[in-house]
A and B are shown apart, each in its own frame.
Chain A
Amino acid sequence: MSEMSGAAALMAALEKEKVEFIFGLPGGANLPIYDALVDSKIRHILVRHEQSAAHMADGYARIKRKAGVCFATSGPGATNLVTGIATAYADSSPIIAVTGQVALPMIGKDAFQETDIIGVTNPCTKYAFQPRVASEIPEMVKKSFYIAESGRPGPVLVDIPKDVQQQITRMEFPEYIKVRGYNPVVDADLSEINKACEMLLKAEKPIIMAGGGVILSGAFSELQALAELLSIPVVTTFKGKGAFPENHQLALGPIGMHGHAEANKMVLEADCILAIGARFSDRTVGRFDEFGKDINVIHFDVDPAEIGKNKSVNAAVIGDVKSSLRSLIKLIPKNFKTNEEITKLWMARKRELVNYYEDSIKDYSREITAKKALKKLRELLPAEGIVTTEVGQCQMWASLHFDVISPGTFFSSTGLGTMGFGFPASIGAKAAKTDVPVVDIAGDGSFNMTENSLAVSVLEELPVIVFLLNNQMLGMVAQWQRTFYNRRYSGVHQRNCPDYCKLAESYGAQAFRVSSMDELDKAIKNSLKSDIATVIDIPIDPDEDVYPFVAPGTGLKDMIIGA
């Protein structure tokens, strides 16, 4: 036991959690914390906007599979974090946001830079703490990490009044904590696993739908083992993209609004769906009432509240999906053989669909298209390279045309769809894994929202590659206006401003503008060789649409494959 300030206790508690990075920006209400930071071993990454600090912590968490930490001051600093916190919440990503707050006697007085940030973030945090005395800080920090990382992960807010940061007192750092009322790990019900196993074994056309939960629990090898053991084709949700190697012969890729055509088609032909760590979101299944109708649907998830929320299911296995999958695999009899004739037919159907759509989905013709550019990126980027995306057409093209080979190397803002997420998140990912290249597949509109993180990428030597599919448009919105509003464009023209190469160079980053596939080839190779932040500006046609497309409110069966 020793005497120290609340701020010093915060830093010590973070060190005990083995925090390597803090992404943040100081202000009046967290000055004591920033002062304590001077004496800490933890590396602080100064951001240019707090939203990006939260995205960086999020990107770090998704690759490290451990909570990321961000700091902001009270009031506007804290509210700037909100988009990042909501993004992490929607994608079940563990981040710890530490905000400064006005001193306790000032709370409720509408003091300068006072915002009730706990109230503001309530619907998008898993939990929030506000210590009233400094001695509560060590235990609250430990609980924050426990809550953020366990069960279904999510963001936790720690809002610390300035006087509590300054208060000097005796501190105790607990080794063990217990949060009454929070039991994140439940042992899966064996009888439900049995039921699931029987359904799967007797199915003739089973399919696996792997969601983000597979990535969160790192159940890659279990998923692959199960799929191979029973020869079950695998589709993913968009969040689950890359849970299964997309070059595998059983892989069909993501389903959903802009899912792969063959995946959307095949999931409707299945006679049994095993959904693993997925929440049957509207973007994924189209219509709740049509998806998985009249067939056995099995649901594995860590969150009991997901069972039956959007979709009634026939078997529900609640628990960490990695261990549930292990139990399921153990139940499959050693001598079990799939009926070869039936499996052959199902596999033939898969090939037939892949070939059919390869022929019938027309390629957009131009020297450089999004599809060609992304195929080129895949060709040149090593399999273990990490890829994230911005939001819009760029994101959906990435989903369609960039195959993830090494599981867990792809992520995106899939739940909230936050423009401006990808670039700062990619910097966070780079911090988590410095020895692999990290690429943000970006749209011009999205990149514009958080491009000031170029300063961070350059100065902190966390180089990432911005692969900018530049259509000078808020392209996805433009596509909807073309499709549903009779080409009445409204508020979508970026008008070639700014010049992204000059912008990048002004930050000290490297930039390439390419006008042919050859130049793109060279630019990617050069970027991969150099260790400096790079923007590759790839002009593409503003009229290029993303297909296939399942219009909102319609089912996967109503998928449109071209104009």
Chain B
Amino acid sequence: MTNKKSVFDEENANKMYILSVIVENKPGVLFRITNLFRSRNFNIESITVGITEKPDLSRMTITTVSDVKTLEQLVKQLQKLIDVIQINVLNKENAVYRELALIKMNAKDPTTRIEIANFASIYRGNIMDISNETITVEIIGTPDKIDAFKNLVSSYGIIQVARTGVSALPRGAVDDDL
């Protein structure tokens, strides 16, 4: 009985998924995809687009937090779009994935600047800009790592944040030929 229930919970639990979607590189494709999310009520955490190794194809990386059923519908509806060529569903285990964030903080006091610089180096971040009033740090990593850094420095007062959203590739050998 308890066993059954836990399986049930597992299926309904929300998890993070990363969809790596190969699409035609032409105008209007991003619009069609985001419009699909809106009209079918799908939630997305982040979306990135960039050209692939082939100039006529783009790779979109979409992160979403959902249950298995919703994910399945999302994938099928995406697959129906004629400009979508291939979809890979990735997760934390089978993918390399990274996000870049730029975080600008209050740092009027020189010791604050040193403290933040120390934190940044622990997170393998880079100081991108320093002024008398502010310091801007670049952090690259998983979204969790970026969140953790943000928490760490939040007491200094975060002024601006820019995040790229997740980019990802499956681990290991490539078995598709596009």
A residues contacting B by CB (< 8 A) are: 118-119, 122-123, 126-128, 147, 179-182, 303-305, 307-309
Contacts and interface: CB of A to CB of B under 8 A. Distances in A.
A303 B80 contact: yes
A181 B77 contact: no
A181 B82 contact: yes
Interface string B24-41: 100010011001000100
A119 B72 CA distance: 26
Interface of B: 23-24, 28, 31-32, 35, 39, 69, 72-73, 76-77, 79-86
A119 B39 contact: no
5 contacts: A122-B35, A128-B28, A181-B23, A304-B79, A305-B73
Contacts of B39: 123
A118 B76 CA distance: 23
B82 A147 contact: yes
Contacts of B81: 181
Given A119-B31, A180-B24, A305 B82 contact: no
B35 to A, nearest CB: 5
Contact of B73 (A123, A180, A308): A308
A521 to B, nearest CB: 49
Contacts of B79: 304-305
Nearest to B69: A308
A304 B76 CA distance: 7
B85 A181 contact: yes
A182 B35 contact: no
A287 to B, nearest CB: 18
B84 A181 contact: yes
B82 A179 contact: yes
Nearest to A123: B39
A94 to B, nearest CB: 14
A436 to B, nearest CB: 35
Given A122-B31, A122-B32, A122-B35, A305 B84 contact: no
Which are the 8 A-B pairs with shortest beta-carbon distances? A305-B76, A181-B85, A182-B82, A123-B39, A127-B82, A122-B35, A304-B76, A305-B77
A54 to B, nearest CB: 20
A181 B22 CA distance: 9
A122 B83 CA distance: 13
A274 B86 CA distance: 31
Nearest to A306: B76
Contacts of A180: 24, 85
Contact of A308 (B35, B72, B82, B83): B72
A359 B28 CA distance: 59
Nearest to A309: B73
A119 B38 CA distance: 14
Nearest to A183: B79
A207 to B, nearest CB: 26
Contacts of B72: 308
A305 B79 CA distance: 9
Contacts of A127: 82
A126 B84 CA distance: 13
Nearest to B77: A305
A154 to B, nearest CB: 10
A422 B82 CA distance: 31
Contact of B80 (A179, A305, A308): A305
A147 B80 CA distance: 11
Nearest to A126: B82
A309 B73 CA distance: 7
Nearest to B76: A305
Contacts of B80: 303-305
B154 to A, nearest CB: 40
Nearest to B75: A305
A307 B85 CA distance: 20
**Among A123, A128, A305: residue with most chain B CB under 10 A:** A305
Nearest to A304: B76
B42 to A, nearest CB: 13
B82 A118 contact: no
Nearest to B80: A305
A147 B82 CA distance: 9
Given A147-B82, A181-B24, 14 more contacts: A119-B31, A122-B32, A127-B82, A179-B82, A180-B85, A181-B23, A181-B81, A181-B82, A181-B83, A303-B80, A304-B76, A305-B79, A307-B76, A308-B73
Contacts of B32: 122
A515 B24 CA distance: 62
A307 B69 CA distance: 11
A101 to B, nearest CB: 14
Nearest to A147: B82
A26 to B, nearest CB: 27
B39 to A, nearest CB: 5
A305 to B, nearest CB: 4
B89 to A, nearest CB: 15
Contacts of B77: 305
A307 B83 CA distance: 22
Contacts of A147: 82
A99 to B, nearest CB: 15
Contacts of A308: 69, 72-73
A304 to B, nearest CB: 5
B83 to A, nearest CB: 6
**Among B24, B31, B82: residue with most chain A CB under 10 A:** B82
Nearest to B27: A130
Contacts of A122: 31-32, 35
Contacts of B69: 308
A128 B84 CA distance: 14
Contacts of A126: 82
Nearest to B178: A180
Nearest to A143: B82
Nearest to B24: A181
Contacts of A309: 73
A524 B156 CA distance: 85
Nearest to B72: A308
Contacts of B28: 118, 128
Nearest to B83: A181
Contacts of B24: 180-181
A123 B35 contact: yes
